[in-house]
């Protein structure tokens, strides 16, 4: 992985975390759109990675700050969804965040390239 890709991934991570904390979880898509506009060739992938890392970071922060409360929350949500373990709720949350980031990245890439998502050149 090249440094530019890592830098863009870290920027997507920071942007996603910032928008999530300041404006709410639904703004994850906007973070992906901005990353897709910035790097249209791999916008969906960078949006997915940045958002998944961002959501995992925020869940990890919550686990460090309030571990007892998080455990109760995860057990309650798991019981509501259908008696699944709390760890599955965490995994589903990270997958949901990654999906929102990927959607936003694809939208940003499509907007930047005039409606078509760029693909790799034929070999």
CA distance 96 to 113: 26
Give the pLDDT of residue 115.
63
Please count the other Cβ atoms lying within 10 Å of the Cβ belonging to residue 77.
Answer: 16
Burial 22-34 (b: 16+ CB within 10 A, else e): eeebebbbbbbbb
- C-alpha distances in Å from residue 40, one per residue of 6, 10, 115: 15, 16, 11
Residue whose entry in the numeric block shows the structure tokens 């990270």:
94
Degrees, nearest 5: CA angle 26-31-24: 30
Residue 4: pLDDT band with limits 50, 70, 90: confident
Give the pLDDT of residue 1.
57
Give the pLDDT of residue 81.
85
Query: How confident is the prediction for the chain on average, in pLDDT?
Result: 88
Task: Write the pLDDT tens digit of every residue in 99-109.
Answer: 999 999 999 99
Helices and strands per DSSP (H, E), number in the chain: 5, 0
**Statement: residue 120 has pLDDT above 90:** no
Residue 123: pLDDT band with limits 50, 70, 90: low
The residue extents of the domains of the chain are 3-112
Give the pLDDT of residue 113.
75
């Amino acid at each position: 992985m090249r440094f530019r890709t890592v830098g863009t991934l870290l920027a997507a991570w920071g942007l996603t975390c910032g928008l999530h904390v300041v404006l709410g979880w639904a703004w994850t898509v906007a973070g992906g759109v901005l990353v897709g506009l910035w790097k249209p060739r791999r916008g969906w992938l960078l949006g997915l990675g940045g958002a998944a890392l961002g959501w995992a970071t925020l869940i990890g922060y919550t686990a460090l700050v309030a571990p007892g409360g998080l455990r109760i929350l995860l057990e309650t949500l798991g019981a509501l969804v259908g008696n699944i373990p709390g760890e599955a709720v965490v995994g589903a949350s990270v997958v949901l965040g990654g999906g929102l980031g990927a959607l936003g990245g694809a939208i940003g890439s499509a907007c930047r390239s005039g409606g078509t998502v760029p693909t790799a050149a034929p070999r």
